[in-house]
Structure 1
Amino acid sequence: MFRFICLSLFILGAAVAAKPVHTDRGLVEGVPTADNAITVFRSIPYAAPPVGDLRWRAPKPAVPWKGVLKAEHFSRSCMQAAASSLGPWTEEYMDQNERSEDCLYLNVWTGGTTGKRPVFLWIHGGAFDQGSTSVALYNGEALARKGIVVVTINYRLGVFGFLTHPELTQESGTHSSGNYGLLDAVAALQWVKANIAAFGGDPDRVTIAGQSAGASAVHALLASPLAKGLFHAAIAQSGSRIGNRQRPLVDVEKDGLRFQEVKRAGSLKELRAMPVYLLMAPVEGAVFRWGPVVDGALLPDTVAAIFEQGKQNDVVTLTGWCADESSADAKYGKSTSEEFERFARRLAGDLADEFLKMYPASTPGPSQIESARAQNMVSTLLWAQQRSAHSKTAVYTYLWDHPLPGPKRDRYGAFHSSELPYMFNSLGSVKRPWEPADSAMAEKTTSYWANFVKTGDPNGEGLPKWPPVDVNSAVTMELGERFEVRPIADAARVKLLEAILTRAMGAVGR
């Protein structure tokens, strides 16, 4: 009987609603976990719905509401096409939600509404045209249990988030257009600044973090004067390298005019009035890629140029790569000798013979894989070296090299985004044959990330030492198979790849 009473009290306790929290727009009520340790608030509006005349405008403040907003379910995802191929990504990696233009909502996981916990704000990946906070593995509960407040945000994607157009530029008031998805991220950070204290968060200790396109967004925010003072540390997963360049507004506006033409719209007004399904309908022979642009406002110049001028938001940064970033490509590790040699000569030019001695075409598969891994890490080292000239803050780099378990483990290895279930410690959200070793890896990885959010340093009690980058030492932190410092490659390979990549960057212009 005593056991039954205790169990009943536990169930009743778990069902007790969290106390409503005051935000600057109204009251919001979250949902506690079964043990009442964490409360999650889903679908809090941080900006007005960008619909009607607000389509392709900077985000406006959210509309105040009366009563208590029940933050129980994820909002609809931002408009995007259905994924055409899962590749190595099981459904837990992909958006499975309904979609809408009314999508500017965020979610908060917190251990309490008092105190001043550091804040982790997550920007999802997806090539700026896919993704959502409702993706299963972005569950912030485990990170929140480490003593931080977790915030995940939706932001406008594809043509809705990044259309540039001369009429948009003219009407903007800042003589800019595009980058609406990034302006959404700035608005979310402003919401955090104004409201996160009510959720037990510290607005003066905010870390922005993102993976893939999310990492590109992090770099844009690092370079943006509009984000100044809104964050204090940064994490960029799969996205720090030399040579990234954003196109100037005057060039990208031509894409907007071409988009208007293929959609047979006579003006921007007609585009704004066009139904979503027509805007998103593919047109044969017309392919558009949407993303950040040098708009003169959010990005006054390219990210690289802003860093070279020392005008960036100089905060401590953690960044790295997965070992098999390109394994979704059917040719990854499967090039013929002839194909790999052609690739080497295109890449290395007059250094190709030296490159092929180190990465022989006689073993094209292993050579392709090993050279790809080394190129990513050397590119990040060069990025860190360039950054160091105008930065006072530290950088921590890593290589994630643990292949996810499952039937395609050998095919895809440590694929692009394979670190995410470990970083969030959301293994239970991803249907794979996890083993105890995976749980141990997730615990260590989540601890490193939480420590970084708390202190700007991933190190902590019981964890292998992770040193900051020394730009004169070609090493990085290995995460996954082992947790230890490792060389990027031997000295000769690093020197050669530095020469090849630096020259390639110079060829496309700095």
Structure 2
Amino acid sequence: MIIRTAHGPVEGTTSEGVSSFKGIPFAAPPVGPLRFRPPSPPEPWAAVRPATHYGPAAVQPRDVLLEGMFGQPAFPTDEASCLTLNIWTQGPHGPVRPVMVWLHGGAFLTGSGRDSVFDGSRLARHHDVVVVTLNYRLGALGFLYLKDLLGSQYAESGNVGLLDQVAALDWVRDNIAAFGGDPANVTLFGQSAGAMSVASLMTMPSAAGLFQKAIAQSGSAEYAHTTERATDVTRQMLAALSIPEEAAGALLDVPAVDLLNAQQGVSEAMRTRGDGLGLPFAPVVDGSVLPRVPLEAIRNGAGARIPLLLGTNLEEGRLFLIGPGAPTMDEDSLSALFDAAYPDPIAAREAFQVTGQDASPSGLFAALIGEQMFRAPAARLAEAHASITPDVWLYLFTWRSSARNGDLGACHSLELPFIFDNLDQPGVHKFTGLEPPAELAHTMSCAWAAFARGGSPHPDWNRFDADAHWAMTFDEDSRPVADPLRPVRRL
């Protein structure tokens, strides 16, 4: 099938009633003078462009944990040709379809829209939606703040990764109708750093009107760098590259592999110091692209007309306790953490155990990670948005994986193959265990698509309110529950 876009014709492939178009450029190569600068439109083309293979991912380090978990090779990467998107659709004919635009996670360091877990074929086939996945610049190339060292022409450098997402949404607005999608009914959904991006875009002036609904999975609206902190990270990068501050312009010419190596060194040093929540590169509150910390902006009315579906997994932190370099935890270390986190640490530990968390030191450490980094921020975002709109739905994913002898539990990212109904993708069983419940994948993918179609995910799913804290719990027996983690939330 050939579709004509605003920049030129593209030809995809069709299988079982779904046409896919992969590797379509939505921006010019972000290299040379465009490095660290906002994306520019791609050059048009006249001949039909094959859109049959994914484009390379953004420059990034290898994700050894996920490679080992899924048994997949590292993504091919390229700085020049990474800004591409992928589309799945039943075609341009018939009534226009809801559009679901996916933002991948990966701590703003790794990830790609080409990940096989994010294949949109089943969502498009079973739910008659148009699915879009995309790449955006990561790490230093996407979030290195240079204004204080290189001047106002780099005022937006700390958020060019977010601006890549905006450029993709601009492309969707201008082109998706040709693929059968409705540009006036776009749902932006993302997980982890992708969910943080969703929250950011809800408050960004440049993204206003580009999407009508939002889904934030296991993310936060609270974490963004100040310009001072972002500049400090930039100085650390310069030191790692042996570049004097007065010669910071040399960053424009540093090979991408050298930037990546320096970025890895800075990231590792910050992790060793316990600095930055593992996010050395993140959105920057620059007063322009991102005017305020997203949660503050939402509390003051930003994104008020955008219905929001959000939630977390019961045992988010368990993912971070496996693989090389994973922290270990003994009783003394755990006690010190709880002493620092809560005025009554004994009551806090009891609250976690009452909600079904593993009572071992490593289990409670994982619970503390999940609470502080994901669940509590999600609850605060739900409360903030619900104060200005009634259209908020909260979920809690509680199904536990049997993989790795059950060590993963209901961990971070486990919901992803269920959302996309891709339980049979290569390597997924290493994450979910054998024979994960297909009915749960059907339930969740239906809910996400229903939300995209009409704004209400399920007839039994109560809207969130600050008093009852209703949440849909997703498991083999999915059902709405009032305040499912109340003992922990009350802490």
Name the TM-score class by shorter chain. Answer: 0.7 to 0.9
CA-to-aligned-CA distance 1:394-416 (integer Å, 9 cap, x gap)? 1111111222343x141111221
- State the distance in 2 between where 1:386 and 1:360 align: 28
Q: Does 1:438 align with 2:437?
A: yes
TM-score by length of 1: 0.84
Query: How far is 1:345 from its partner?
Result: 1.6
- State the distance in 2 between where 1:177 and 1:453 align: 32
- Identify the range of structure 1 (320-329 vs 41-50) with the bigger mean alpha-carbon deviation: 320-329
The structure 2 residue matched to 1:344, chosen from 316, 338, 349, is 338
Task: Quote the residue 2:75 is aligned against.
Answer: 96
The structure 2 residue matched to 1:469, chosen from 453, 460, 464, is 464
Query: How far is 1:248 from its partner?
Result: 1.9
Task: Quote the residue 1:453 is aligned against.
Answer: 452
Question: What secondary structure, in the 3-state scheme, does the structure 1 residue paired with 2:447 have?
Answer: helix
User: Which one-letter code corresponds to 2:165 in the other structure?
Assistant: A
Question: What secondary structure, in the 3-state scheme, does the structure 2 residue paired with 1:271 have?
Answer: helix
CA-to-aligned-CA distance 1:48-99 (integer Å, 9 cap, x gap)? 010111111100001101110110000011101112434883235x753344
- Identify the range of structure 1 (154-163 vs 353-362) with the bigger mean alpha-carbon deviation: 353-362
CA-to-aligned-CA distance 1:310-345 (integer Å, 9 cap, x gap)? 133531111111122111333999854444332222
Query: How far is 1:443 from its partner?
Result: 1.3
User: Which one-letter code corresponds to 1:188 in the other structure?
Assistant: A
Identity %: 31
Q: Does 1:42 align with 2:17?
A: no
Question: What secondary structure, in the 3-state scheme, does the structure 2 residue paired with 1:32 have?
Answer: strand
The structure 1 residue matched to 2:8, chosen from 26, 29, 46, is 26
CA 346–248 in structure 1, closer or farther in 2 if over 3 Å, else same: same
Task: Quote the residue 1:398 is aligned against.
Answer: 395
Question: What secondary structure, in the 3-state scheme, does the structure 2 residue paired with 1:329 have?
Answer: helix
- State the distance in 1 between where 2:342 and 2:366 align: 16
Task: Quote the residue 1:479 is aligned against.
Answer: 474
CA-to-aligned-CA distance 1:2-59 (integer Å, 9 cap, x gap)? xxxxxxxxxxxxxxxx1x11111001111101x3x11000011100010111111100
Please say if residues 92 and 178 of structure 2, whose CA atoms lie closer than 8 Å, have aligned partners that are also in contact: yes
Query: How far is 1:487 from its partner?
Result: 4.0
Query: How far is 1:354 from its partner?
Result: 3.3
- State the distance in 1 between where 2:158 and 2:485 align: 43
Q: Does 1:112 align with 2:91?
A: yes
The structure 2 residue matched to 1:380, chosen from 368, 378, 381, is 378
- State the distance in 2 between where 1:151 and 1:359 align: 38
User: Which one-letter code corresponds to 1:29 in the other structure?
Assistant: E
- State the distance in 2 between where 1:429 and 1:219 align: 29
- State the distance in 1 between where 2:264 and 2:76 align: 27
Question: What secondary structure, in the 3-state scheme, does the structure 1 residue paired with 2:214 have?
Answer: strand
- State the distance in 1 between where 2:104 and 2:25 align: 17
- State the distance in 2 between where 1:371 and 1:259 align: 31
- State the distance in 2 between where 1:256 and 1:371 align: 30
- State the distance in 2 between where 1:168 and 1:29 align: 44
- State the distance in 2 between where 1:127 and 1:371 align: 19
Query: How far is 1:268 from its partner?
Result: 3.9
Question: What secondary structure, in the 3-state scheme, does the structure 2 residue paired with 1:137 have?
Answer: helix
Please say if residues 51 and 101 of structure 1, whose CA atoms lie closer than 8 Å, have aligned partners that are also in contact: yes
CA 262–435 in structure 1, closer or farther in 2 if over 3 Å, else same: closer
Question: What secondary structure, in the 3-state scheme, does the structure 2 residue paired with 1:458 have?
Answer: coil
User: Which one-letter code corresponds to 1:483 in the other structure?
Assistant: S
- State the distance in 1 between where 2:74 and 2:43 align: 26
The structure 2 residue matched to 1:213, chosen from 159, 182, 193, is 193
User: Which one-letter code corresponds to 2:469 in the other structure?
Assistant: A
Q: Does 1:426 align with 2:425?
A: no
Task: Quote the residue 1:82 is aligned against.
Answer: 62
- State the distance in 1 between where 2:290 and 2:264 align: 32
Please say if residues 88 and 415 of structure 1, whose CA atoms lie closer than 8 Å, have aligned partners that are also in contact: no
Question: What secondary structure, in the 3-state scheme, does the structure 2 residue paired with 1:222 have?
Answer: helix
CA 326–363 in structure 1, closer or farther in 2 if over 3 Å, else same: closer
Task: Quote the residue 1:501 is aligned against.
Answer: none
CA 435–283 in structure 1, closer or farther in 2 if over 3 Å, else same: closer
CA 319–152 in structure 1, closer or farther in 2 if over 3 Å, else same: same
- State the distance in 2 between where 1:359 and 1:150 align: 38
Task: Quote the residue 1:13 is aligned against.
Answer: none
The structure 2 residue matched to 1:309, chosen from 300, 303, 307, is 300
Question: What secondary structure, in the 3-state scheme, does the structure 2 residue paired with 1:143 have?
Answer: helix
Question: What secondary structure, in the 3-state scheme, does the structure 2 residue paired with 1:442 have?
Answer: helix
Query: How far is 1:281 from its partner?
Result: 2.1
Task: Quote the residue 2:254 is aligned against.
Answer: 274
TM-score by length of 2: 0.87
Larger of the two Rg values belongs to structure: 1
> How many equivalent residue pairs?
465
- State the distance in 2 between where 1:492 and 1:200 align: 47
Query: How far is 1:169 from its partner?
Result: 6.0
Question: What secondary structure, in the 3-state scheme, does the structure 2 residue paired with 1:85 have?
Answer: helix
CA 73–348 in structure 1, closer or farther in 2 if over 3 Å, else same: same
Please say if residues 304 and 389 of structure 2, whose CA atoms lie closer than 8 Å, have aligned partners that are also in contact: no
User: Which one-letter code corresponds to 1:429 in the other structure?
Assistant: Q
User: Which one-letter code corresponds to 1:301 in the other structure?
Assistant: R
User: Which one-letter code corresponds to 1:274 in the other structure?
Assistant: V
CA 359–76 in structure 1, closer or farther in 2 if over 3 Å, else same: closer
- Identify the range of structure 1 (122-131 vs 362-371) with the bigger mean alpha-carbon deviation: 362-371
- Identify the range of structure 1 (55-64 vs 484-493) with the bigger mean alpha-carbon deviation: 484-493
Matches within 5 A, 1:62-461: 62-86=42-66, 89-92=69-72, 95-114=74-93, 115-145=95-125, 146-166=127-147, 170-172=151-153, 175-240=155-220, 244-265=222-243, 267-282=247-262, 286-287=266-267, 289-312=280-303, 314-330=305-321, 335-349=329-343, 351-359=344-352, 363-365=359-361, 376-389=374-387, 391-406=388-403, 408-431=404-427, 432=429, 438-459=437-458
- Any gaps of 5 or more consecutive residues in structure 1? 1-17, 498-510
User: Which one-letter code corresponds to 1:345 in the other structure?
Assistant: D
Task: Quote the residue 2:31 is aligned against.
Answer: 51
CA 482–52 in structure 1, closer or farther in 2 if over 3 Å, else same: same
Task: Quote the residue 1:505 is aligned against.
Answer: none
Please say if residues 40 and 109 of structure 1, whose CA atoms lie closer than 8 Å, have aligned partners that are also in contact: yes
Please say if residues 382 and 394 of structure 2, whose CA atoms lie closer than 8 Å, have aligned partners that are also in contact: no
Please say if residues 240 and 320 of structure 1, whose CA atoms lie closer than 8 Å, have aligned partners that are also in contact: no
